[in-house]
Amino acid sequence: MKLEHFALNVENPLAMADWYVTNLGLQIVRQATVAPFATFMADDSGRIMVEIYLNPADEVPPYRTMNPLLVHLAFVSPAPDEDKERLVAAGATLVSDQRLEDGSHLVMLRDPWGLAIQLCKRGKPMLTAVENNLNALH
């Protein structure tokens, strides 16, 4: 089986989708303009999607106070320092910046709504084809 999407109940899906498109390069695949504003966003591979919505059937998790290790969206970044600076300028906040012994560089941020996002540059790429494509762009 292939993973189609991961869904998150969020406080402002329309604004959040705009920020993710503008700042992380996601593309909107489908977006409802009425509640619950279900929005499907695909990464640049076109193979993985994140769905965000505001569904009052359950609470929006307290992302701002949750440990980022509980839930975060991780993005491959060939230039974590540059992406970190750009995202902070766009409203993200820095949580941590780690360089691991294996050569990996992991930056944890929170988006403007408190959801944790991680920038990953692995010492040994785990998604080789995707990382090679991204590296070719930078």
pLDDT digits (tens, 9 = 90+) for 14-73: 999 999 999 999 999 999 999 999 999 999 989 999 999 999 999 999 999 999 999 999
- CATH homologous superfamily for the domain 1-54: 2,3-Dihydroxybiphenyl 1,2-Dioxygenase, domain 1 (3.10.180.10)
The fold adopted by the segment(s) 65-138 is 3.30.720
Distance in angstroms (rounded) separating the CA atoms of residues 64 and 96: 15
* pLDDT of 131 over the 80 cut: no
Distance in angstroms (rounded) separating the CA atoms of residues 122 and 127: 9
**CA diameter of the chain:** 47
CATH 3.10.180.10 domain span(s) along the chain: 1-54
Nearest partner of 83 among 16, 138, 5, judged by Cα: 138
CATH 3.30.720.110 domain span(s) along the chain: 65-138
Other CB atoms closer than 10 Å to residue 9's CB: what's the count?
18
